[in-house]
Amino acid sequence: MVGIVIVSHSWKIAEGVRDLAREMAQNFTGLLCAGGLGDGSIGTDAQRIADAILEADSGDGVVIMADIGSSIMSAESAIELLEEDGHEVNAVIADAPIVEGSICAVVEAAGGGDLDSVLKSAEESREASKL
């Protein structure tokens, strides 16, 4: 099953998005948060993201959902850290809104979608009209 990691500068945001997405697929276990810094402050930590990627990866890959700016850079650094440590990493960063994209990704992953379809589902959420 494809794993999903939610990266936000805020642990509370990452946790809230995770909780909301879990409501759409309650039995999905491959959804992890990597928000904030270890002391609870605002920021991102590449090692924290790398650890979440490893935990979320059951062998089918991981889609990373990130909020803004440096969370993308931290996610890229996390992938590089894992590769430098000799891990075979099959993780991709979605170009999608963190809330809507995470929900779409979780529903697709819980339904058995592969990495490409989970990524596509997350990224297609950019086009969804709310009105």
The catalytic site residues sit at 9
CA-nearest of 55, 46, 47, 1 to 28 is 1
**3 state DSSP class of 93:** strand
Residue 43 Ramachandran class (φ > 0 left, ψ -120 to 50 alpha, else beta)? left
Distance, in Å, from the CA atom of 49 to the CA atom of 64, rounded to the nearest integer, reads 9
112 to each of 7, 40, 48, 72, how far by Cα in Å? Answer: 22, 34, 26, 26
CB 42 within 8 A of CB 11: no
